[in-house]
């Protein structure tokens, strides 16, 4: 395979950094450019393993800035677009940053991809664009019904990307994944927040009754799915990437408590999130059948390994915890 230049936006974030490391390991002849603004959740510490790799480079910049985007994308072959504001609670408090980054930033990248004639543009979307589902699971063709500002902004980016495929023939492929977990996740999301809280003897805040259901996907399984889409995904198509591990939030909470030897007195039930989606679930038969992908990391192993990582890497998360 000839050498390719891959632009990874948001490559210092949680999923993006795992993808950068995964790609360099599996395609050692490729050049990978990490383009990241380094907002609060973007950390170059996530990339210590590859910072000296001659095929890896970091460029600090903003996907909303057209001149910076044009400069970094010169001679790029493929784009894998992770960069996004992604925390639902923050989007409820203030939505404007989500619209700017997730919609306008995506537009800037798509426009430059059209100018540069890139060979693939992978838009990283989310299962949250579908909204909630009480039973069954969402297929890629189902109606999108986002119910909070974050998921609405991701839906805008998702559909904007598709429109560039239809209108301008930009080779866009879209992935929609379920809740990711694993090492290096910023401690505002459920699993790292609860683990780090307990490690500093703080209670864990559970929304409502904790009965909301999520599907959990290990970040490495997601990276394998994204790689499959990058190399074999059909332009204009959407691929669901799910972990097939459905648990209520309270079940996840009790698993973490048990693993860390803590009791349920460490749970603090808090007022439910506004517009809180009850359940997400993805039908992943398309990516399994067409791209020969399936999740391989069991949740039992994945959650234990993740908890252990936070126990062993206080240097990484201690500066982030108030």
Please name which of 316, 22, 299, 55 lies closest in space to residue 182, comparing C-alpha atoms.
Answer: 299
Where does residue 289 rank: exposed (0-12), middle (13-18), buried (19+ CB within 10 A)? exposed
Q: Where are the beta strands (DSSP E) in 30-140?
A: 31-36, 56-60, 78-81, 120-126
pLDDT in tens, the chain (322 residues): 578 999 999 999 999 999 999 999 999 999 999 999 999 899 999 999 999 999 999 999 999 999 999 999 999 999 999 999 876 777 778 788 898 999 999 999 999 999 999 999 999 999 999 999 999 999 999 999 999 889 999 999 999 999 999 999 999 999 999 999 999 999 999 999 999 999 999 999 999 899 999 999 999 999 999 999 999 999 999 999 999 999 999 999 999 999 999 999 999 999 878 878 889 999 999 999 999 999 999 999 999 999 999 999 999 999 998 7
Q: Which of 112, 128, 215, 227 is catalytic?
A: 128
| 246 tagged catalytic | no
Catalytic residue among 56, 107, 150, 181: 150
Tokens 């904007």, residue?
160
Going from N- to C-terminal start, the domains of the chain cover: 5-180+219-241, 181-214+245-277+298-320
Q: Is 89 a catalytic residue?
A: no
Alpha-carbon span 178 to 193, nearest angstrom = 18
Which residue has 């048990």 as its token pair? 258
Domain 5-180+219-241 has CATH 3.20.20.100: no
The residue among 39, 132, 73 whose CA lies nearest residue 16 is 39
The single residue of 127, 158, 215, 227 carrying the catalytic annotation is 127
| Residue 127 known to be catalytic | yes
Q: Is the dihedral of CA 315, 317, 318, 320 positive or negative?
A: positive
CATH of 181-214+245-277+298-320, one of 2.40.30.260, 3.90.25.10, 3.40.50.12280, 2.40.50.100: 3.90.25.10
| pTM assigned to the model | 0.96
């Amino acid at each position: 395979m000839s050498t390719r230049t891959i632009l990874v936006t948001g490559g210092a974030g949680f999923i993006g950094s795992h993808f950068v490391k995964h790609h360099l390991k599996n395609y050692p002849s490729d050049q990978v450019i990490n383009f990241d603004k380094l907002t609060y959740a973007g950390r170059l510490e996530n990339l210590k393993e590859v910072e000296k790799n001659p095929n890896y480079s970091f460029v600090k910049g903003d996907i909303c800035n057209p001149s910076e985007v044009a400069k970094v994308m010169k001679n790029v072959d493929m784009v894998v677009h992770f960069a996004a504001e992604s925390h639902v609670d923050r989007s409820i408090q203030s939505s404007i940053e989500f619209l700017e980054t997730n919609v306008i930033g995506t537009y800037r990248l798509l426009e430059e991809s059209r100018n540069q004639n890139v060979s693939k543009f992978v838009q990283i979307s989310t299962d949250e664009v579908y909204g909630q589902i009480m039973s069954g699971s969402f297929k890629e063709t189902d109606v999108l019904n986002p119910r909070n500002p974050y998921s609405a902004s991701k839906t805008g980016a998702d559909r904007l990307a598709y429109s560039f495929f239809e209108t301008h023939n930009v080779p866009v492929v879209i992935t929609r994944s379920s809740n990711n977990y694993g090492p290096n996740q910023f401690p505002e999301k459920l699993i790292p927040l609860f683990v780090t809280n307990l490690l500093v003897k703080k209670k864990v805040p559970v929304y409502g009754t904790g009965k909301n259901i999520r599907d959990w996907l290990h970040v490495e399984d997601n990276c394998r799915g994204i790689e499959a889409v990058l190399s074999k995904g059909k332009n204009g198509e959407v691929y669901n990437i799910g972990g097939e591990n459905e648990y209520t939030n309270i079940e996840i909470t009790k698993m973490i408590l048990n693993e860390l030897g803590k009791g349920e007195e460490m749970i603090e039930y808090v007022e439910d999130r506004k517009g809180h989606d009850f359940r997400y679930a993805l039908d992943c038969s398309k990516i399994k059948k067409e791209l020969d992908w399936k999740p391989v990391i069991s949740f039992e192993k994945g959650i234990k390994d993740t908890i252990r990582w936070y126990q062993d890497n206080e240097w990484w998360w201690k500066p982030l915890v108030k």
